[in-house]
Amino acid sequence: MSENDNLQEADGKKETVTEDNTTTKETTLNVEETSKDLAPTKKVNPSEPEHKPSATKTSEINEDKEPTDKEEPSDDKHVDEIEASNAEDAEDESNAERHDVEEKDYHAMSMDQLVNELNRLLKHHKIQTISKHVNQIKSEFNAKFEELLDEKKEEFINDGGNEIDFYYTNDTKKLFNQLYKEYRQNIKSYYREREQTLKQNLENRLAIIEEIKGLLNVEENINTTYKHFKELQEKWRNSGPIPRDKYNNAWNTYHHHVERFYDFLHLNNDLRDLDFKHNYEQKLKIIERAEELAADDNINRAFRELQVLHKMWKEELGPVAKEHREEIWERFSNATKSIHDKRQAYYKDLDKAYEKNLEKKEEIIAQIQTIAEDKINSHGAWQKKIKEIEALREAFFNAGKVPLKVNEATWAKFKDAVRSFNRGKNQFYKNLKKSQYENLQKKKELIDIAEANKDSDDFEVVTPLMKKIQNDWKKIGHVPRRDSDKIWKQFKKACNHYFDRIHAKKKEEHQHLYDAFDKKVKLLEELKSLKLEDDVKSNIKILRDKIAEWKSIGHVPQNKRYIDGKFYKAIDETFDTLKMDKSKLEMVKFESKLENLATDDNDTRKLDNEQNFIRKKISEIKSEINQLENNLQFFSNVESDNPLVKDVHKNIANHKKELDTWKVKLSKVRDMY
Cβ neighbors of 301 (< 8 A, separation 6 or more) are 20, 21, 22
* pLDDT at residue 452, as a whole number: 93
Q: Looking at residues 254-264, what average pLDDT do you find?
A: 83
- Can you tell me the distance from the alpha carbon of 471 to that of 452, in angstroms, rounded to the nearest whole number? 18
Helix 562-575 vs helix 511-528: crossing angle, to nearest 10: 20
Q: Looking at residues 542-555, what average pLDDT do you find?
A: 85
> In this model, does residue 541 exceed pLDDT 50?
yes
CA distances from 446 to 438, 453, 473, 515 (A): 13, 11, 7, 38
* pLDDT at residue 448, as a whole number: 94
pLDDT in tens, 222-245: 788 888 988 998 898 888 888 888
CB 445 within 8 A of CB 133: no
For residues 251 and 497, the model is more confident at 497
Q: What would the 3-class secondary structure string for 500-516 be?
A: HHHHHHHHHHCHHHHHH
- Can you tell me the distance from the alpha carbon of 667 to that of 652, in angstroms, rounded to the nearest whole number? 23
Widest CA span in the chain: 163
Q: What is the CA radius of gyration of the chain?
A: 53
* pLDDT at residue 496, as a whole number: 94
- Can you tell me the distance from the alpha carbon of 328 to that of 288, in angstroms, rounded to the nearest whole number? 11
In sign, the C-alpha dihedral spanning 406, 410, 413, 419 is: negative
Q: Looking at residues 573-595, what average pLDDT do you find?
A: 74
CB 266 within 8 A of CB 56: yes
Q: How confident is the model at residue 267 (pLDDT cuts 50, 70, 90)?
A: low
DSSP-based three-state secondary structure for 16? strand
CB 172 within 8 A of CB 217: no
pLDDT in tens, 274-320: 888 888 999 999 999 989 988 888 888 888 888 889 888 877 787 88
DSSP-based three-state secondary structure for 23? strand
What helix, strand, coil percent values describe the chain, rounded to 5? 75, 0, 25
- Can you tell me the distance from the alpha carbon of 564 to that of 555, in angstroms, rounded to the nearest whole number? 10
Cβ neighbors of 71 (< 8 A, separation 6 or more) are 42, 43, 44
Q: How confident is the model at residue 218 (pLDDT cuts 50, 70, 90)?
A: confident
Beta bridge partners of 17: 23
pTM: 0.45
Residue among 325, 228, 319, 312 at smallest CA distance from 266:
319
Cβ neighbors of 257 (< 8 A, separation 6 or more) are 209, 212, 213
* pLDDT at residue 22, as a whole number: 32
